Amino acid sequence: MAALRWLDIDLDAGVIRVERGWDQYTGPIEVKTDSGRRAVPVAFVVRRELRDHKVRTGREGDDLVFGRTATQAVLPSTIAARARKAWRAAGVEPLTLHEARHCAISYFIAAGLDWKQISTWAGHGDVRQTWNRYGHLVPGGEQEAAARLSHYLESPTVAQTVARAAEEANTPAITGAFEYRYRDSKPLNEPG
């Protein structure tokens, strides 16, 4: 947040690009890993707040989004104090910024977004890292899986294939194409 500049935010597209980190003593720094540089989606409610913040501060381009000034970064203690004040005013329990990050990732999961994309947005080097940390948020799912499998298996008995389409059109078929029955997964043109 401390390193975020307005040129990193595309409010129309709903994307924040993470291009750099911040060290409170040396200023802007490179991201820790290659996966740290990423584009993260921003929900409409956050974009609305960012638009209002941009108008209030009058900043744009290379200016810091949350700086004390357009060029001086905000202190982490200031961010925490402002957040606690806003949470108290809203009547909700305060979160640390790291807990807020976990919430965002949890919301991505709850919204049913793709795990690989979530991993990228989180800045994780591998989707397994995301799954190992957040997989507990997806318990069960057996009923949905059973319903989806039932729907799949109740599909028509014969699948349309290139070979069958060519046969019906009375044209040469592509060699090696098989037709499968859904219920027993046995090729129709295989003996036995």
47-81 per-position pLDDT tens digit? 999 999 999 999 999 999 999 999 999 888 888 89
The domain locations on the chain are: 6-137, 141-192
What are the start-end ranges of the E strands in the chain?
9-10, 15-18, 21-23, 27-29, 38-41
At 71, is the secondary structure helix, strand, or coil? coil
Helices and strands (H and E) in the chain: how many: 7, 5
pLDDT tens, residue by residue, 145-162: 788 888 888 876 555 555
- The residue type found at 90 is A
The CATH class of 6-137 is mainly alpha
Residue that has been written with the tokens 């490179």 in this structure: 30
Q: State residue 184's pLDDT score.
A: 47
Give CA–CA dist 55/51, Å, rounded.
Answer: 6
Contact 31, 21 (CB under 8 A): yes
| Among candidate residues 1, 117, 116, the one with its CA nearest the CA of residue 50 | 1
Where does the pLDDT of residue 34 fall: very low under 50, low under 70, confident under 90, or very high at 90 and above?
A: confident
The per-residue b/e assignment along 15-52, b for 16 or more CB within 10 angstroms, e otherwise, is ebebbbebeeeeeeeeeeeeeeebeeebeeeebeebee
Type of residue at 48: R
Q: How confident is the model at residue 172 (pLDDT cuts 50, 70, 90)?
A: low
